[in-house]
Structure 1
Amino acid sequence: MASNRTSRGSGPSQRQLRVGEEIRRRLSEILQRGEVHDLDLAAMSITVGEVRVSPDLRIATAYVLPLGGKDADEAIVALNRSKGELRYLVARVMKLKFAPELRFVIDETFEQMEKTRRLLAEDRVQRDIAKRDEDDNGDDDGDLG
């Protein structure tokens, strides 16, 4: 029996991933080159970490973060203010039937990675890791090797 491509649990299709990556690349270029006529955006260095596209390719959610994570709310406001121009500039080079609506969200990936790094660096966690390593190395579990 053929698999259902529209099932909810299957994750994004190859086409969604490909289109999302192309939009991410193009948005990054536009912002880096300062192609948008917005002075606030021109003054910011914004990283586009990921773009997720809806199954019908009509909505593209861009996960963005200004350099250093500062002024994130102002960056979202500026991006939303220039949403129409950004949509036009992205769609101009892509071969899609419809120009996707752009939505901007703060990318919290870097913050999550930093929290995990801090957690792993804590003394109590390091002690637990060292204890587990000692138990694994010094444990006589009956192996013949």
Structure 2
Amino acid sequence: MAKNRFHDGAGPSQRQLRVGELIRRTLSDVLNRGDIHDPDLNRLSITVGEVRTSPDLKVATAYVLPLGGQGQEDVLKLLARNKSELRRAVSKNLTLKFSPDLRFRLDETFDQLDETRRLFADETVKRDVAHSDDDDDDYQDED
């Protein structure tokens, strides 16, 4: 049985990355233009941060976030409700044997960035980072 590349530590292939980025751009364009026949979805501004594809390119998971982060669960429901129309719109720009099944998840990287900024603003962390920089200077002096 073949191993899933994401679980064996190898990471995605160049083809997976290329196809994922093409799907991300296409999905973003479709959502921004309001090409979907759902007024509830078209009135929202949705950011597509990343798309990850399975090794066989049959499943594409889009990480999305509504503008301002409000109504996240509603956005996921609207995207799921319009999944087949979104899939058709995306597949028009792909030259793949199969049109990938689209799945939608919340993009939590923005929350992680906020937490990282908060940590770096903490006085204890600033002091530790400054101390670490001093240690690096000591190592460079030894060369």
TM-score (norm 1): 0.85
Give 2:88's aligned residue. 88
Q: SS at the partner of 2:36?
A: coil
Q: Tell me, yes or no, if structure 1 residue 101 matches structure 2 residue 118.
A: no
Cα pair distance change 1:135/1:33, threshold 3 Å: same
Highest CA radius of gyration, 1 or 2? Answer: 1
In the alignment, residue 110 of structure 1 is paired with which amino acid? F
Question: How far apart are 1:123 and its partner, in Å?
Answer: 2.0
User: In 1, distance between residues paired with 2:85 and 2:142?
Assistant: 69
Hey, what does 1:38 align to over in structure 2? 38
- Could you say what secondary structure the match of 1:10 adopts? coil
For the structure 1 residues 133 and 55, does the alpha-carbon distance in structure 2 shift closer, same or farther, using more than 3 Å as the test?
Answer: closer
Unpaired runs of 5+ in structure 1? none
- Rate the CA distance shift 1:83–1:136 in 2: closer, same or farther, 3 A: closer
Q: CA deviation at 1:128?
A: 2.7
1:87–1:144 Cα change, 3 Å: closer
Describe how 1:16-31 pairs up with structure 2 within 5 A. Answer: 16-31=16-31
Unaligned stretches of 5+ in structure 2?
none
Matches within 5 A, 1:63-78: 63-78=63-78
> TM-score with structure 2 length normalisation?
0.86
